[in-house]
Amino acid sequence: MNKTKLHPIMLAGTGSDVGKSILAAALCRILKQDGYSPAPFKAQNMALNSFVTSDGLEIGRAQAVQAEAAGIPCEADMNPLLLKPQSDHTSQVVLLGKPIGNKNAYDYWRKEGKEELRQEVHKAFDRLSQRFNPIVMEGAGSIAELNLRKTDLVNMPMARYANANVILVADIDRGGVFASAYGSIMLQDEEDRKRIKGIIVNKFRGDMRLFDEGRRMLEDVCQVPVLGVVPYMKDIHIDEEDSVDLKEKSKKGKVKNDGVRVAVVRLPYISNFTDFNALEHDSRISLFYTDKVNQLAEADIIILPGTKSTLNDLRWLRETGLAETILRAHREGKTILGICGGYQMLGQTIDDPDGIEGPVASMPGLGLLPVNTTMAHEKTTRQVTFLFEGHECQGYEIHQGISNTDQRIVQTDHCIGTYVHGILDNAVFVDFLLRPFSDKIGKRNETFDYQAYKQQQYDLLAAHIRQNLDMELLYKIMQGYD
């Protein structure tokens, strides 16, 4: 293990979805490969895709991925503050892995109470920095939102507290890379501007030589070195948590005839859609996301995913005709799988007497599983290990409701329900799911090892970033040299 103490590094952005999370995962892997003991940290995250630590605490999925890239178990201190959107204006606030209430956006961004949250995220960082070297930090959105600067917990104020060097990530694929990088730097005060030690130009398409002059011009106008120009990654697959990623998946949602056709219903409040990443890379499967009746009818397997608003999405299923399409598919012998909120929808009833999700006190489910669910104030969050067909399987649970069964997996005929997120990461369960469709698989009937695949992808990501980043300069920055 390398004992050289490195400064924390923060990947900050010119905007959202510029690639900070993936680059942080890459640095975690590279530092691990180079003998350091890195850990990820994002003071505040906003995401519907979350993960559960071994002690039953909830964090953003991106920090769990970054921890996996670093080769360490994830923990709540890596993402001490998580905001889970419940509507366009309201989010559940999760502090150190536990929900502390719901806030609308206006109330959350007011100053009252922010200092207490700031102290909590600082303590979380301190605990991590005592045990890991270095801390790979991630900012959120743009670092140039002037109207939010006084209440910002995650970007430059956090970098100042951690004494972190900042690398600005700019997305050239969306255009305006010069303006966004220059503006992001110039809008900082003098102290924060000095803290920005480099720029990464991300998601470049085409011949890299075409940006040689652009690179020099960017360094001239920003007076900050460009650490690298990273090509757009087409063949490296890392779990992402943003709704932007789901939109990209949905664009690919055309039904193919090749393999077993698996449709994920694109619910309005869909959450934890990373549950299906393993299926995307399984050569036996043609996976697509859809909210269209005609596309759903073409599927061999229909999956109802998790949701942040079960009753609202159940009503939406009926209003759009998708509920009847699912029931018809079941009658025709197709397989229906429900995970978490989708599992609850497949039951007999969902009761919400305390109005946890809204004013509707009760609603009938789709009636395919002998399960009744009652919404509860206390959220269940835990990692689980269980046997399936004689094999040990793993996953995690994050759900608000309580169902009247102790069974981990409930089956009737060709309908299956479970609270276990990550169940599709277990090869034995996927093989079981595909068994009735062996005629469509043909000679490709090989079990897909998703865990080995993920480790391979982290190594490919690390190699890709090493090739396109000035790692010598990055290490000098982290060692404190100007």
| Residue positions annotated with a catalytic role | 340, 421
Which tokens in the block code for residue 192?
């924060």
Beta carbons within 8 Å of 369's beta carbon, 6+ residues apart: 338, 343, 346, 347, 348, 410, 412, 415, 417
The domain covering 9-237+456-478 belongs, at the CATH homologous superfamily level, to P-loop containing nucleotide triphosphate hydrolases (3.40.50.300)
d(CA 247, CA 258): 23
**Across the chain, which distance is largest between two alpha carbons, in Å?**
68
For residues 63 and 52, is the Cβ–Cβ distance under 8 A? no
Secondary structure (3-state) at 420? coil
Strand order in the sheet with 44-46: 44-46, 81-85, 90-95, 98-104
CATH ID of 243-448, from 3.40.50.880, 3.90.650.10, 1.25.40.10, 3.30.930.10: 3.40.50.880
Instruction: Going residue by residue through the chain, which has 482 residues, state the pLDDT in tens, using 9 for 90 and above.
Output: 677 899 999 999 999 889 999 999 999 999 999 999 999 999 999 887 889 999 999 999 999 999 999 999 999 999 999 998 876 667 888 999 998 877 765 566 566 678 899 999 999 999 999 999 999 999 999 999 888 888 899 999 999 999 999 999 999 888 889 999 999 999 999 999 999 999 999 988 888 787 888 889 999 999 999 999 999 888 888 887 655 556 665 555 455 557 899 999 999 989 888 899 999 989 899 999 999 999 999 999 999 999 988 999 999 999 999 999 999 999 999 999 999 999 999 999 999 998 888 888 899 999 999 999 999 888 899 999 999 999 999 999 999 889 998 899 999 989 999 999 999 999 999 999 999 998 888 766 678 889 899 999 999 999 999 999 999 999 999 998 66
R_g of the chain computed on alpha carbons: 23
Domain range list for the chain: 9-237+456-478, 243-448
- Look at the block and give the residue holding tokens 């998946």: 249
Q: pTM, whole model, 2 decimals?
A: 0.88
- Judge if 9-237+456-478 and 243-448 fold alike in CATH terms: yes
State how far the Cα of 216 lies from the Cα of 17, in Å rounded to an integer: 25
- Cβ-proximal residues to 27 (8 Å cutoff; 6+ apart), any chain: 9, 11, 38, 136, 465
